[in-house]
């Protein structure tokens, strides 16, 4: 019963181990049911199964990018309105728009082009400044309450999602990777297959050897 376990894909290795364990647990082969190697194989397979399909990252990258884009749009729209309105001296409250635009200018007019972390730091300061009573009055007078609320909510939504992504990424990086535990599973599978090969002529072991050999053949042909 020969097979190069290292040549199997991560999925095929997991499938082979799972089918071998199911075979062991079927109750058809009393000679192996309480063998200590069975428990060892089960333990290594369980560890491998836990992580072999896991991604390195949380998979939330697209969601974070979308949330950041929505935050950028809300920020850009409010900034553009103030910039345009302040340039109409005859318009009511044009000076208020100029004052608020200056607040934007103080914290940068290109926040949407910064990295996530840099933008977040500046957006937080911008929002805090705009929430001061004197600026809230100006925002209200310009009927921009909803526009400001949207920018703030989009920023908060991004922050929540980004924090979730960061936590998930940290958890995944701290997990033992499939490649790191694969060797243990290969070692225990090899030991099990070698045991069956040595014992195949002993009464009670032949059927187990024959059935397991069929699983190994299927694995070599990647048909499992």
pLDDT in tens, 84-99: 999 998 888 999 999 9
pLDDT at residue 14, rounded to an integer: 86
pLDDT at residue 210, rounded to an integer: 94
How large is the average pLDDT for residues 159-175?
A: 74
Residue 224 predicted with pLDDT over 80 = no
Q: How far apart are CA 74 and CA 79, in angstroms?
A: 9
Q: How far apart are CA 193 and CA 67, in angstroms?
A: 51
Mean residue pLDDT across the chain: 88
Closest CA to 21 of 182, 180, 176, 193: 193
Q: How far apart are CA 149 and CA 107, in angstroms?
A: 18
Query: Which structure tokens are listed for 34?
Result: 């309480």
pLDDT at residue 221, rounded to an integer: 81
Closest CA to 189 of 35, 12, 20: 20
Query: Which structure tokens are listed for 91?
Result: 């318009």
Phi, psi dihedrals of residue 206, rounded to the nearest 5°:
-65, -45
Most trustworthy range by pLDDT among 49-63, 85-99, 107-121: 85-99
Q: Is 183 helix (H, G, I), strand (E, B) or coil?
A: helix
């Amino acid at each position: 019963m020969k097979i190069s376990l290292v040549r199997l894909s991560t999925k095929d290795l997991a499938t082979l181990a799972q089918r071998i364990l199911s075979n062991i647990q079927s109750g058809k082969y009393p000679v192996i049911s309480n063998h200590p190697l069975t428990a060892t194989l089960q333990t290594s397979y369980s560890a491998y199964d836990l992580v072999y399909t896991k991604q390195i990252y949380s998979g939330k990258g697209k969601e974070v990018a979308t949330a950041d884009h929505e935050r950028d749009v809300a920020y850009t729209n409010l900034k553009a309105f103030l910039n345009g309105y302040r340039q109409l001296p005859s318009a009511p409250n044009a000076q208020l728009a100029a004052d608020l635009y200056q607040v934007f200018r103080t914290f940068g007019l290109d926040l949407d082009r910064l990295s996530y972390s840099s933008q977040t730091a500046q957006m937080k300061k911008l929002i805090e400044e705009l929430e001061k009573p004197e600026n809230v009055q100006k925002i209200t007078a310009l009927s921009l309450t909803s526009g400001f609320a949207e920018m703030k909510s989009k920023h908060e939504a991004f922050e929540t999602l980004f924090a979730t992504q960061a936590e998930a990424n940290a958890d995944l990086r701290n997990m033992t990777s499939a490649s790191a535990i694969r060797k243990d599973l290969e070692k225990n599978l090899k030991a099990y297959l070698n045991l069956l090969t040595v014992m195949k002529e002993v009464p009670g072991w032949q059927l187990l050897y024959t059935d397991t050999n069929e699983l190994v053949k299927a694995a070599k042909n990647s048909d499992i």
